[in-house]
Chain A
Amino acid sequence: MLERKGEWMMLKALAGAGMALLLGASLAAAQSVTMAMSSAPTSVDPHYHTFAPNETLGVHIYDRLIERDPLNNLIPGLALSWKLIDDSTWELKLRQGVKFHDGSEFTAADVAYTFARVPTVVNSPGSFSIYTKTVVAMETPDPYTVRMKTNGIYPLLPVDLSNVFIIPKNLGPNPATEDFNSGKNAAGTGAFRLTAYKQGERVELERNDAWWGPKPHWQHLTIRIIPNDGARTAALLAGDVQLIEFVPTADAARLRADKRVALSEIASLRLIYLWLDRSRSGPTPFITGPNGEALTSNPLNDKRVRQALTMAINRPAIVERVMEGAAYPIGQFVDKGTWGHVPGLLPPGTDVAKAKALLAEAGFPQGFRITLHGPNDRYVNDGKIIQAVGQMWSRIGVQTTVDAITWPNYISRANKQDFSAYLLGWGFGEATNPLRSLVYTYSPPKGWGAVNRGRYSNPAFDGLVDRLMTTADDAAREGLVREATSLAMEDVALIPLHLQKNIWAMRAGLSFVARADEDTRVMELRPTP
């Protein structure tokens, strides 16, 4: 009996500790925090895998030359300033007095070391060289200046630099990925230092009091991996964790009403959109005539058909009913307030009569049959979104069958142009990215249009992108970005639906800065004053 009493005391003490945390008490013991991530990082090595969870772990341990603010604008990180000194040279001035966790001082040599290391990571399933390869040469005139040479004008270098974590040259030649996981190599300049890493389970970190940024509130940080949505929410409600990311939309409404927790949300840079097959001039596999007869050509090559399809979609209804408010309807790539947004470019209003007229004009007075494909386990409510779109298309006479497929199979088929109309999402750092990667003509040698799965191709659009990618002046480039965006939307290169919201939930009494880029930074979790 006594034994059992002891157990009870223990549990009570634990509960008490949870309460103290919840109240944000300034007790030393309470300055530890647990955060739950929705998927597991694949490595502590910051250059092993271009994968969002690795980035979330990385921002706590390492720093980048250029960082991003919550709205995704570039701000100084390890570099205090950056400027073009001639058409192909960027000069960066580095922050002085910054120390790595191993005690060595951060200088230009570490930048050179990092850039040399990135392309050499063994067996990387997604290399960071996509962010470093435009730098063809690097000079370090003094320990706090770096000059990066690019092939011709490359205005996006600062954006690329905001993806690359800097590691110390002290790690020596070819540091092994395993040694990062064991903690031996995991030295960055970041706000926390790694104390333990258990793959797929948890990561333990201690505050780095020598960090150059504002001192984080938490002395000890535990990151737990809880992929199951229900379990993650329950862990927060039970007080086992203080912060969770990717709050499921179904739970968001309930959590909003719960006094024990608070939410923090923002429009993300993840666009949910539909591709229309433009790779075929002959018949496309999933479109047949109104009675199921084979067609001789691909109706999606007719701009009027594409306009009818985008016009048929009631985006506010999808956002309100399917997404339960956790998205913003959109008719371009980025939201208001983000660089490159085209003022006044709204999604087309829903107009069934006009859409029918456009179809008739294009030679389909009876509409046609189409199968709309989508994943069912990748984006928020993806399977339900395509169902809603299918119903809306059926209303204008396009008889739609919906087919939702699991992601591993889906994406492989989408890459082979297996579908006629299909849903995908695209997360991006800034507004030129979707123009260059999604809409630009698929051109392997150049590396552009790499994810142009619909194989849309428009020489006028490509010309605009070629021009803007060699325009160094930010304002002039933004003008071209807007022009190209408007052209792509007018021609219905793809059908944008909405931008997802990023939602975090935390215990009441804490506040967290929601970020457009999906990174969860515990540095920005503090007790509400």
Chain B
Amino acid sequence: MEGIQKVDLTNVKPYGDTLNDGMVQMSFTLPVPYGDEASEAAKQLVSKMGFDEPAVVYSKDLGVGYTYFVMYGKCTHTVDYTTIEVPKVDIEFMDRHQVEDYIKENIKRDVVIVGACTGTDAHTVGIDAIMNMKGFDGNYGLERYNGIEAINLGSQVPNEELIAKAIEFKADAILVSQVVTQKDVHIANLTQLVEMMEAEGLRDKMILVCGGPRISHELAQELGYDAGFGSGSFANHVATFVVKQIVERNLI
């Protein structure tokens, strides 16, 4: 394969037309009236962002003195891909039917999972995608699973109410979704739940999982959760983790 440049994984930069040209496309709006001055302002801004050869490839008058831009620029920075390590939930995921069979063979009773969007957060998209019957993006939610009793408490559930419900339903696992994260309100909210569970002596008895766009497995574990699921996670991922943990930790 002579002539083909090899990728240097210790110095990775964006690919446009050729390797390492660093080409990036970006778009933004500036609160200035459409015109040559606006384009110049956009170019100067992109230059300040650290891009070489900034270029306006498209601009549109949005009215009321605002202009929209699509820009190109060459990124001058690189990252060392070889040193990157992202801790993930390190198990082989099963699909819905496999999870159902696994429950039948290994747990031999219904698994109870209580989920909620806690604190002031009213955004149920995350918990609904995982729990609701219809699921998300072609992946059915936990309510559809045979052998799983899924209880979705909805949004703005206080931590103490979530714990009380988990005790009432004798839950095996608690799922917490946090979508709103301004001022890192999700952190204080998530730690309070763990602290309350420790105080109630429940932490070792239930599997505790959190999820949301700004939640990684690494963060979740630092907060004291068993696992964290970020964007792109589906019900079968969460279900696999929960049922395997039940067996591993002997919570049958």
Chains A and B belong together in one complex: no
Which residues of A are at the interface with B, using a C-beta cutoff of 8 A?
none
